[in-house]
Amino acid sequence: MKIYYNLENIGQIRNPVITTGSFDGVHIGHKTILNRLRECASAIDGESVLITFHPHPRKVLFPDTAGRTLLLINSQREKIELLRKTGLDNLFILNFTREFSEISSIDFIRNILVGKLNAKKVIIGFNHHFGHNREGNFDYLYELGQYYNFGVEEIPEQDIHNETVSSTLIRKALLEGRIQRANAYLDHHYIIISELFEGSATCRSMNFPTLRIKIEEENKLVPNDGVYAVNVLIDGEFYKGILNIKNSLPVEVRRIDEIMIDLHLFDEIQGLKGKTATVFFAKRIRDELQFSDSGQMRRQLDADLIEVEELIY
């Protein structure tokens, strides 16, 4: 997958089939669009293209509130890795600014989709809007496609459990700790990618060593407090483990740097500090608990280990 951060000097992209959007979560609805993108590109000996944006438009348009209220399923780094796995050919991550937000829908089509990329087909999800004040929609895109000679297709909504899959629905499930439901909507495990740091001194004193995970981006959504069964990928090796998320503040006012995330692996953890880990969330085991002493805490941790060891995931 080729990654571009602007529209200059991009070279030749063969018969581009394009989609656009934030694609937060890279969920099953997004994957349906991307699968269709690849099918259409293959049919015309072309290449698939996704145009997305960074920072998230809300951070630019509503800076006073986005820092507190914007929650993203993926950091940019995580989104890139998830998109890479879909087989996408070309990813454009365009810098979203106030100036960019003023681009009209017709200028977006005329100057970018046609002028810069020479689109052969554009595929969008249901209810997708684009351009200044979200003025552009499928009907308008179809009309301009007739004029500029590119095909247009709209992908219908994807339903699971009689609910239309959306990033909003997935965020809600994660904040409620319903990891398995969120994973079903995502069509993959919810992930956190982080460098590993020195863990809890309390756990270390109980011969229960942990590694601390720190979130890279302030708007990254972290699931509800509690204990989770996880798989962890480090240097190409998978480790089974349990992960604890703890924060004393309610979700709506929590700060990302105040959330404590500690990871215990079933295998030896010496030499892993400083390495990058991808944590795959499988199941929520229990709520975060308060303990009267270290003995009570250790007994609960041992019970957690037994429960997670018996899980198949």
Same domain? For 142 and 194 the reply is: no
Identify the CATH number of the domain in which residue 85 sits: 3.40.50.620
In terms of Cβ atoms closer than 10 Å to its own Cβ (0-12, 13-18, 19+), residue 186 is buried
Q: With a cut of 60, say whether residue 252 has pLDDT above it.
A: no
Q: For 238-252, give one letter per residue: b (16+ CB within 10 A) or e.
A: ebbbbbbbebeeeee
Same domain? For 147 and 216 the reply is: no
Of 50-64, 103-117, 142-156, 253-267, the range with the lowest mean pLDDT is 253-267
Same domain? For 36 and 122 the reply is: yes
Q: With a cut of 70, say whether residue 184 has pLDDT above it.
A: yes
Phi and psi angles of residue 124, each rounded to the nearest 5 degrees, phi first: -130, 160
Q: So what's the pLDDT on residue 312?
A: 75
Same domain? For 153 and 226 the reply is: no
Any alpha helices (H) in 85-117, and if so which ranges? 98-101, 105-107
Same domain? For 144 and 234 the reply is: no
Same domain? For 264 and 129 the reply is: no
Residue 52: which domain range? Answer: 2-160
Beta strands in the chain (DSSP E): 2-4, 16-20, 47-54, 90-95, 121-125, 151-155, 159-160, 163-164, 191-198, 211-213, 226-234, 237-246, 260-265, 276-286
d(CA 40, CA 53) in angstroms, rounded, equals 23
> What would the pLDDT profile of 197-212 be if each residue is shown by its tens digit?
998 888 888 888 999 9
Q: Which has the higher per-residue pLDDT, 146 or 268? A: 146
Classify residue 126: in a domain, yes or no: yes
Cis peptide before 16 (omega within 30 of 0): no
pTM, two decimal places: 0.93
Q: Which has the higher per-residue pLDDT, 292 or 76? A: 76
> What would the pLDDT profile of 158-173 be if each residue is shown by its tens digit?
999 889 999 999 999 9
Contact 227, 304 (CB under 8 A): yes
Classify residue 171: in a domain, yes or no: no
Classify residue 180: in a domain, yes or no: no
Classify residue 100: in a domain, yes or no: yes
Could you give the number of structural domains in the chain? 2
Classify residue 131: in a domain, yes or no: yes
d(CA 191, CA 233) in angstroms, rounded, equals 10
The pLDDT > 70 percentage for the chain reads 97
Q: So what's the pLDDT on residue 267?
A: 83
Provide mean pLDDT across the span 280-308: 91
Classify residue 278: in a domain, yes or no: yes
| CB proximity list for 191: less than 8 A, separation 6 or greater | 74, 78, 82, 278, 279, 280, 281
Identify the CATH number of the domain in which residue 210 sits: 2.40.30.30
> Amino acid identity of 244?
N
Same domain? For 244 and 286 the reply is: yes
Mean pLDDT, the chain, integer: 93
Classify residue 185: in a domain, yes or no: no
Q: So what's the pLDDT on residue 262?
A: 95
Q: Would you place residue 254 in the very low, low, confident or very high pLDDT band (cuts 50, 70, 90)?
A: low
d(CA 173, CA 23) in angstroms, rounded, equals 17
Q: So what's the pLDDT on residue 211?
A: 95
Phi/psi-derived region of residue 45, left when phi > 0, alpha when psi is between -120 and 50, beta in every other case: left
